[in-house]
Chain A
Amino acid sequence: MKSIKYITVILAASILGACHKLDTPPLGVISDEQVFTNANAIQAYMADIYTNLPIEDFVYEPNSGFLTGNGGRWQNFYHTDAIDGEMVGPYGGTGDAAQGFGFWPYDKIRVINVLINKLPAYASNFTPSQVNEWLGEAYFCRAYTYFALVKRYGGVPIVRTVIDPNASVASLQVPRDKEEDVYNFIASDFDSAFALMTDPGSNIPQGSASKYAAPAYKSRAMLYAGTIAKYGAANYVAGDAQAKGIVGIPSADASKFFQEAYDAAKLVEGHFSLYTGGYPDKQQNYVDIFLKPNKEDIFLRQYTQSDPNQNGDNAGPHSWDATMTCRIMTADGLSRAYPSEDFVERFGPLPVVNPDGTPTRFTNRADLMNGLEPRLLATVYFPGATLRGINFDVQRGIYKTFAGSAAQELNNSLTSPNDVQTGSNVNLYLGDINAVANGLNVIGRAGVSTNGDDLTRTGFYVRKYIDYNKPASACGLYQSTQSYIDMRYAEVLLNRAEAAMELGTGAMQADALSDINQVRDRAGAVPATVSMTIDTIRNERCKELAFEHQYWWDIRRWRTADQVLNNRNMYALLPYFISSESKYIFLKQLEPFKRTYNFQKLWYYEPLPGGELGKNPNLFPNNPGY
């Protein structure tokens, strides 16, 4: 019995004796030292930063966000350009996504700040150029993230340091900075990134930032700041945040920002170039920009098919092929977003109406494509085009006979003598995919359907980024791995042209003309002339960067969204078969769902997330109108 007491005492002594070893580093936590003394660990740390970088890529949804590890990320048709009218799509209107998704990536910014603030202390473990390259990339990623914030909210808190979570609550409640100060901060981070990174020469890394990516993005950010200064001063929503400069930039600073945008874009010259490797076929060349690695790519997000957990992170495959073209060309999935006729008409009116006002008769639908701009044909699949050996069989209905002008059919009111659909004298047959009239299918296998929205209802399908090389069996959900090009040299030229045109001197205008004509020449378009205006440059931007998540931000920063999306219905170009003539006609009609796109001025800024406002009263005032 006594021996138990002794054993207990000895055991207690041995337990207490172990106490001095409790100071060992915990095995479950990776220390700063472990990461920042090992090149592979830093590489992994950087990979995490890039994975979480807010890139508006294939899987980004304007109302749901960046969808890292989200099961909804197959639905690539929930696209920014489906709320701004470039496409009509699954959204009921602009308001479905105009107020964002509560983006607030300060946890991601913290991860970047940790590297920026702590890596220098461990610099002796590496060569200076290694350290500078990592720091440069980190500055690039921080600027990139702040740009994603400022374009949504205007002024946000600028946090440069690693804040101690145990500090007093008051010190954690960082107030908002002015919008102009955030843009200046972004510019200085891109400058730091540029200064720190080394010129990779022709060996440009894929999927990570490089020296000349920094000024490319700087040109984008500074162009945004310049246009917000110039146009936001006239068209704004009044409120406290606006009065204090937390949103909005003084108009006097517009030219400073335009000059910075121009200088940054000019810096990129010579380091990247427009892709022309597929010449002389300019249409095929344009298609391949988005499918073949080339010298136009400045910054990419890459995807891999081998990711075992397809939804696990942003490196898994996407579903662009399966969700942007017609199901008859794919393995599974469905499409829901379609280019509008309004977008197609940016390239000029289509030859579908004769001088006398009657609709032009076509023997084959594909004949419409004759003589159109190669870039348009490479961006949009027209009725009668072919993908993977299958025809885009698009037809809205059948007219037995068709008399009179196209204009009377314009508004889809179906009240002209041609439009008799009931009774004994039926002349116009409309219907679903199974409808048959006099032995002919009423609608095409690729649309136009008004039952559901998984066939086109504008007549068009997206072609940009569609991988025509793959068989249909390889075009299912989570089977697409083509890279998303977040920045390419064509945009740098367009940034440069717009900034130059806004600066307005004769020499600058000549520079803008030369930039635009480089883009146009590659596109196979007719060159612009000296009579070019700022609207020419803006239209060129919309044409070149269509379906690349750009137009939405452009009409916001130009402060034109409330005018171009003013209770607006988009148009479709609908092919009909005239059975008495065995010919096709194309009628420009309202897109059959008649979705209305309306932009309220207060959406020039998104509301700050309510949860953040609750935690940090220094974020007030909220943006005007909210």
Chain B
Amino acid sequence: MNKLLIKGIIGAGFLFLVASCTKTDNIAGPDSAFQGNIIDSVTGKNLVTETGGVQIELKQLSWSANPDPYYIPSKPDGTFEDTRIFSGHYSVIPTQGAFWPVDSILKDIKGATSQNFTVVPYLEITNVTHTQNADSLVMTFQLQAPRTNGLPQIIDATEFVNNTPFVGGGAFIQSFYNESSATVSINSNWSSAIGTTTYRTVVHNLQPGWTYYARIGVRLNDSYKKYDLSDIVQVAMPTK
């Protein structure tokens, strides 16, 4: 009798255990993908930027009214892609970049989803030249503003140099950055004089035999102080 009772209790206990096992996680994994291009309205091509030069901000409205924002950083070629996104209804906006603010859009992300964004950069860097001297790299360039009314103050333009092709405001060799001739301070609002000036930057002490990558970045005093960037130039220093 007692044995039967104990067996019964143990059996019932197992039933409870098994019953609780059926509560599986029924939320789908992040099995959707979201990708696209950030297009420069002036050139009509992809925005020339750097890793994280633009962030695509996603807010999953189908999850919560106040979702934590999720960011997809841009790639240097002006594309973005994330293949681990939860399916759902999102508010999406390109932000934290050196361009005029745009409006967010609503987007249902399910499966492989694409979306392009067109942005107006604060400044275009034009007529870029680079000249290699003994141990220095001289760059000249001009600035053009697609829109001038309400443009944030222009802070400075900097020649960024790195020894990898990942070069920009977030990847540079600090000792070149510390050189005063590498940066042109502007600290003024847009004027026609800025549009006609040819700016010049120099970095020195490049090492013989090294290959460097360089570009110009110009930043404005908006919320994020990110850089509008020129194309990357590759410079091989001759061996001594």
> Chain A: residues with CB nearer than 8 A to chain B?
235-239, 411, 413, 415, 562, 567, 569, 590, 594, 596, 600-602, 610, 613, 617, 620, 624-626
Contact yes or no, A613 B66, CB < 8 A: yes
**B5-60 contacts to A (CB < 8 Å):** none
Contact of A625 (CB < 8 Å), options: B65, B174, B224: B224
Contacts of B174 in A (CB 8 A): 567, 569, 594, 596
Contact yes or no, B224 A413, CB < 8 A: no
Contacts of B177 in A (CB 8 A): 567
* Cα(A562)–Cα(B219), bound, Å: 13
* Cα(A626)–Cα(B205), bound, Å: 39
* Cα(A77)–Cα(B170), bound, Å: 29
* Cα(A235)–Cα(B219), bound, Å: 15
Contact of A236 (CB < 8 Å), options: B66, B68, B101, B223: B223
Contact yes or no, B225 A562, CB < 8 A: yes
Contacts of A625 in B (CB 8 A): 96, 223-224
Contact yes or no, B223 A602, CB < 8 A: yes
Contact yes or no, A624 B66, CB < 8 A: no
Contact yes or no, A617 B66, CB < 8 A: yes
Identify the closest chain B residue to A412 (Cβ): B175
Q: Is B144 an interface residue (CB 8 A)?
A: no
Contact yes or no, A237 B223, CB < 8 A: yes
Q: Is B131 an interface residue (CB 8 A)?
A: no
Identify the closest chain B residue to A620 (Cβ): B66
Contacts of B66 in A (CB 8 A): 613, 617, 620
Contact yes or no, A601 B205, CB < 8 A: no
11 CB contacts below 8 A, A to B, read: A236-B223, A238-B101, A238-B222, A411-B175, A567-B174, A601-B223, A601-B224, A602-B223, A610-B68, A617-B65, A624-B223
Contact yes or no, A413 B205, CB < 8 A: yes
Give, as a whole number of angstroms, the nearest-CB distance from A606 to chain B.
16
Contacts of B224 in A (CB 8 A): 237, 600-602, 625
What 1/0 mask marks residues of chain B from 69 to 97 whose CB sits below 8 Å from any chain A CB? Answer: 10000000000000000000000000010
- Report whether over half of chain B's contact residues are helix, strand or loop; otherwise say mixed: loop
Contacts of B223 in A (CB 8 A): 236-239, 601-602, 624-625
* Cα(A519)–Cα(B14), bound, Å: 79
Identify the closest chain A residue to B179 (Cβ): A411
Contact yes or no, B65 A413, CB < 8 A: no
Q: A617-B65, A617-B66 are in contact. Are A411 and B178 (CB under 8 A)?
A: yes
Identify the closest chain A residue to B224 (Cβ): A601
Give, as a whole number of angstroms, the nearest-CB distance from B48 to chain A.
21
**B152-188 contacts to A (CB < 8 Å):** 174-175, 177-178
Give, as a whole number of angstroms, the nearest-CB distance from B175 to chain A.
6
Contacts of A413 in B (CB 8 A): 175, 205
Contact yes or no, A569 B205, CB < 8 A: no
Q: A413-B205, A617-B65 are in contact. Are A235 and B178 (CB under 8 A)?
A: no
Contacts of A617 in B (CB 8 A): 65-66
Contact yes or no, B225 A569, CB < 8 A: no
> Max chain A CB contacts within 10 Å: which of B101, B221, B223, B224?
B223
Give, as a whole number of angstroms, the nearest-CB distance from A415 to chain B.
7
Contacts of A626 in B (CB 8 A): 69
Identify the closest chain B residue to A617 (Cβ): B66
Contacts of A237 in B (CB 8 A): 223-224
* Apart from A238-B101, A594-B174, A626-B69: 11 A-B pairs, beta carbons within 8 A: A236-B223, A237-B223, A237-B224, A238-B222, A413-B175, A600-B224, A601-B223, A602-B224, A610-B68, A617-B66, A625-B224
Identify the closest chain A residue to B187 (Cβ): A563
Identify the closest chain A residue to B172 (Cβ): A567
Give, as a whole number of angstroms, the nearest-CB distance from A165 to chain B.
23
* Cα(A596)–Cα(B172), bound, Å: 12
* Cα(A411)–Cα(B180), bound, Å: 12
* Cα(A610)–Cα(B96), bound, Å: 21
Contact yes or no, B175 A601, CB < 8 A: no
* Cα(A42)–Cα(B66), bound, Å: 42
